[in-house]
Homo-oligomer: A and B are copies of this chain.
Amino acid sequence: MTVTPLVRVQAEDFDAGQEAQELTRNRKDVGALVSFVGLCRDEAGTLSALELEHYPGMAEAELTRIANQAIDRWPLTGLTVVHRFGKIPPGENIVLVIAASAHRRAAFEAADFLMDFLKTRAPFWKKEHLVSGEESTWVEAKSGDDDDAARWVNT
Interface on A for B, CB 8 Å cutoff?
15-18, 20-21, 24, 26-43, 45, 90-91, 102, 104-105, 107-108, 111-112, 115, 148
Given A43-B28, A43-B102, A148-B105: A20 in contact with B34 (beta carbons within 8 A) = no
Q: Secondary structure at chain A's binding surface: helix, strand, loop or mixed?
A: mixed
Least Cβ distance of A79 to chain B in Å? Answer: 15
Report the separation of the CA atoms of residues A17 and B19 in the bound assembly, to the nearest whole angstrom.
Answer: 9
Report yes or no: B35 in contact with A35, Cβ–Cβ below 8 A.
yes
Report yes or no: B28 in contact with A45, Cβ–Cβ below 8 A.
yes
Given A104-B115, A115-B104: A31 in contact with B35 (beta carbons within 8 A) = no
Report yes or no: B32 in contact with A37, Cβ–Cβ below 8 A.
yes
Q: Name A36's closest neighbour in chain B (CB-CB).
A: B34
Which single member of B34, B40, B104, B148 contacts A34 (CB below 8 Å)? B34
Report yes or no: A108 in contact with B108, Cβ–Cβ below 8 A.
yes
